[in-house]
């Protein structure tokens, strides 16, 4: 989607579709001498959040259609009702014969939101709603894809500066979200560790200036040579070699410590020797959504040219059963020197992440955030609405929670208490990689915390939020909005 800004009188705009509230629609109709036409056309319209009606205007007008969005009688919408209103607009735009549209942002009054936040939240919602993946389809769907390609945000001259900033940041987020979702939705016979590495390299090619972004790919042989025994134990069962992908973005002075993002990139997870049941195993192509999210966030940061230093590390591997695959009971030595007894080969994400966390120490980061579709237990605990947040630093956790609330990509903080560490005891190694059926998401985070003692660290378990099942099956792109907003706030 191409975003832009507009100002001036609403009735003077030239557009396929003007998105307005009923109050603003009446004002526009009055100026165009179409009061009676609007009244007759909107006779059955219910002015309530979540409702929208597309009204085609006479051909003589420069505004071809009004998309009237319900807001109710309240002076201000709640943030939740505002999102309902924008979602209703997006649903209408999906099936409308509209190439370009203008959103009259000042028509919407939202409790606690200034003009910048109104525009950011609206455009983030439209980005999420209007995305469509059809790269591997040859036949047209019964419902054709949305035709809209351009959307402008209209504001008064007084609010133009804030709106312009919001649109610039929203455009970067839109690009990053599309990148992340495309990666997540690719079939696993396309999106393997080599494919992720190739897509990461493209981030450097599009950067300006060119020396701002550097991409390095460490292959499986070097991963093993470095002593990353936990990482190697996962990837050794696959015929497709694993890779540690590193993207370094320099937007600030070299002396400024970077923020590190780490993504779990298990491009397909069979469970290994601890084989998963076949039902819904196709969804295990989404086990690399953490990697997709950090790469998408990095693309957004590059496009926005944020004045920060960022290093993104992707632990890319397939988890497959074979004669070379790890067995339950194997003991491996991690890059940190700690040993792990592998009791369940389907708890592989924490194995590639723990070595990557240790590798991140060499960057002396200001903070490290890892993102992973790590545990089914987190889905049981939080469902799809919130990502699970675990951290060893309260300030970092608060910053992420605040960023998520701002852009409505929310998380819920969970404990990483020492009480849970005893679940990881092993008779044969420093720790086991699983700890029983209780508090699975917490115990997994406790495992990772043992490798994150040298820096401020947060872990986002996005097993429930990174993709959807059922009729809406596909990558959601989360938590790219939260991460990008967090990095914007840091900048």
Instruction: Please state the domain extents for the chain.
Output: 2-135+144-156, 178-490
Q: Where in the sequence numbering do the catalytic residues fall?
A: 276, 350
- Tell me what pLDDT residue 49 has: 92
Asked if 2-135+144-156 and 178-490 have one fold, the answer is no
Lookup result for tokens 């993946």: 133
What band does 188 get if pLDDT is binned at 50, 70 and 90?
A: very high
User: What's the rounded Cα separation, in Å, for the pair 483 and 14?
Assistant: 36
| Tally of helices (H runs) and strands (E runs) in the chain | 14, 19
Q: Which CATH number does 2-135+144-156 carry?
A: 3.40.220.10
Q: Answer for the pair 147, 98: CB distance below 8 angstroms, yes or no.
A: yes
- Tell me what pLDDT residue 140 has: 65
Fold of the CATH domain 178-490? Aminopeptidase (3.40.630)
- Give the least confident one: 122-136, 375-389, 433-447: 122-136
- Tell me what pLDDT residue 143 has: 61
Q: Answer for the pair 274, 344: CB distance below 8 angstroms, yes or no.
A: yes
What band does 208 get if pLDDT is binned at 50, 70 and 90?
A: confident
Residue 144 pLDDT > 70 = no
- Tell me what pLDDT residue 415 has: 98
What count of other Cβ atoms lies within 10 Å of the Cβ of residue 382?
21
Mean pLDDT, the chain, whole residue set: 95
**For range 64-68, the mean pLDDT:** 97
Structure tokens at 364: 């002396």
- Tell me what pLDDT residue 13 has: 95
Closest by CA position to 437, among listed 375, 345, 371: 375
The crossing angle, in degrees rounded to 10, of helices 289-304 and 193-205 is 0
**For range 95-102, the mean pLDDT:** 94
- Tell me what pLDDT residue 241 has: 97
CA distance to 39, 40, 459, per residue, from 58 (Å): 14, 13, 55
Look up residue 14 and give its DSSP letter.
Answer: -
Q: Is 370 exposed, middle or buried (0-12, 13-18, 19+ CB in 10 A)?
A: buried
Structure tokens at 328: 């339950």
Structure tokens at 402: 């605040």
Q: What Rg value do the Cα atoms of the chain yield, rounded?
A: 24
- Tell me what pLDDT residue 158 has: 84
User: What's the rounded Cα separation, in Å, for the pair 386 and 461?
Assistant: 9
Which residues are registered as beta bridge partners of 246? 216, 313
Q: Answer for the pair 52, 4: CB distance below 8 angstroms, yes or no.
A: no
- Tell me what pLDDT residue 136 has: 73
- Give the least confident one: 125-139, 245-259, 336-350, 351-365: 125-139
- Tell me what pLDDT residue 488 has: 98
Closest by CA position to 209, among listed 251, 262, 257: 251
Lookup result for tokens 């007894």: 341
What band does 54 get if pLDDT is binned at 50, 70 and 90?
A: very high
**For range 207-236, the mean pLDDT:** 94
Cite the beta strand spans of 320-391 per DSSP E. Answer: 331-333, 339-341, 367-372, 387-391
What band does 141 get if pLDDT is binned at 50, 70 and 90?
A: low
**For range 33-60, the mean pLDDT:** 94
- Tell me what pLDDT residue 207 has: 74
Structure tokens at 99: 């190439």
What band does 473 get if pLDDT is binned at 50, 70 and 90?
A: very high
Lookup result for tokens 């907003």: 485
Residue 338 pLDDT > 80 = yes
Contacts of 408 (CB under 8 A, 6+ apart): 79, 83, 121, 124, 125, 481
User: What's the rounded Cα separation, in Å, for the pair 176 and 15?
Assistant: 27
Positive or negative, the Cα torsion across 121, 125, 126, 132? positive
Q: What angle do CA 402, 414, 424 make, to 5 degrees?
A: 145
**For range 306-325, the mean pLDDT:** 98
- Tell me what pLDDT residue 145 has: 62
Helix spans in 14-55 (H)? 22-31, 35-41
**For range 153-157, the mean pLDDT:** 91
- Give the least confident one: 73-82, 174-183, 368-377, 446-455: 73-82
What band does 159 get if pLDDT is binned at 50, 70 and 90?
A: confident
Residue 146 pLDDT > 70 = no
């Amino acid at each position: 989607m191409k975003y832009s800004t507009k100002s001036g009188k609403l009735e003077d705009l030239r557009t396929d579709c003007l998105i307005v509230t009923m109050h603003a629609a009446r004002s526009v109709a009055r100026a165009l001498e179409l009061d009676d036409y609007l009244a007759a056309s909107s006779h059955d319209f219910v002015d309530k959040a979540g409702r929208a009606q597309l009204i085609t205007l006479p051909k003589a007008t420069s505004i071809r259609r009004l998309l009237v969005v319900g807001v109710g009688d309240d002076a201000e919408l709640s943030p939740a009702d505002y999102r309902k209103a924008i979602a209703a607009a997006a649903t209408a735009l999906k099936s409308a014969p509209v190439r370009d549209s203008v959103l009259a942002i000042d028509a919407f009054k939202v409790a606690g939101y200034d003009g910048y936040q109104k525009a950011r939240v609206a455009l983030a919602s439209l980005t999420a709603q209007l995305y469509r993946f059809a790269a591997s389809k040859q036949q047209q769907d019964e419902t054709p894809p949305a035709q809209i390609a351009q959307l402008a945000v209209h504001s008064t001259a007084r609010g133009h500066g804030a709106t312009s900033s919001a649109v610039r940041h929203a455009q970067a987020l839109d690009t990053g979200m599309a990148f992340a979702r495309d990666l997540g939705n690719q079939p696993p016979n396309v999106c393997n560790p080599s494919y992720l590495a190739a897509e990461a390299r493209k981030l450097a090619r599009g950067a300006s200036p060119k020396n701002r972004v550097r991409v390095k790919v460490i292959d499986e042989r070097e991963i093993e040579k470095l002593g990353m025994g936990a990482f190697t134990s996962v990837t050794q069962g696959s015929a497709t070699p694993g890779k540690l992908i590193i993207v370094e973005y320099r937007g600030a002075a070299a002396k400024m410590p970077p923020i590190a993002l780490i993504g779990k990139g298990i491009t397909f997870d069979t469970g290994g020797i601890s084989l998963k049941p076949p039902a819904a195993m196709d969804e295990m192509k989404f086990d690399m959504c953490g990697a997709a999210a950090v790469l998408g966030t990095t693309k957004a940061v590059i496009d926005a040219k944020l004045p920060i230093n960022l290093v993104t590390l992707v632990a890319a591997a397939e988890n497959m059963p074979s004669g070379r695959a790890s067995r339950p009971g194997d003991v491996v030595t991690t890059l940190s020197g700690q040993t792990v007894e592998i009791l369940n080969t389907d708890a592989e994400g924490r194995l590639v992440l723990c070595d990557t966390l240790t590798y991140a120490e060499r960057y002396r980061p200001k903070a490290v955030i890892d993102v992973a579709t790590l545990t089914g237990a987190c889905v049981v605990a939080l469902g799809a609405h919130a990502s699970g947040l675990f951290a060893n630093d309260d300030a970092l956790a608060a910053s992420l929670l605040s960023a998520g609330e701002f852009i409505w990509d929310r998380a819920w903080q969970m404990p990483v208490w020492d009480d849970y560490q005893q679940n990881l005891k092993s008779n044969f190694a420093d720790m086991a990689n699983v700890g029983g059926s209780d508090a699975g998401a917490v115990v997994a985070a406790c495992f990772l915390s043992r490798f994150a003692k040298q820096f401020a660290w947060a872990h986002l378990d996005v097993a429930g939020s990174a993709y959807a099942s059922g009729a809406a099956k596909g990558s959601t792109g989360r938590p790219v909005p939260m991460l990008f907003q967090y990095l914007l706030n840091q900048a």
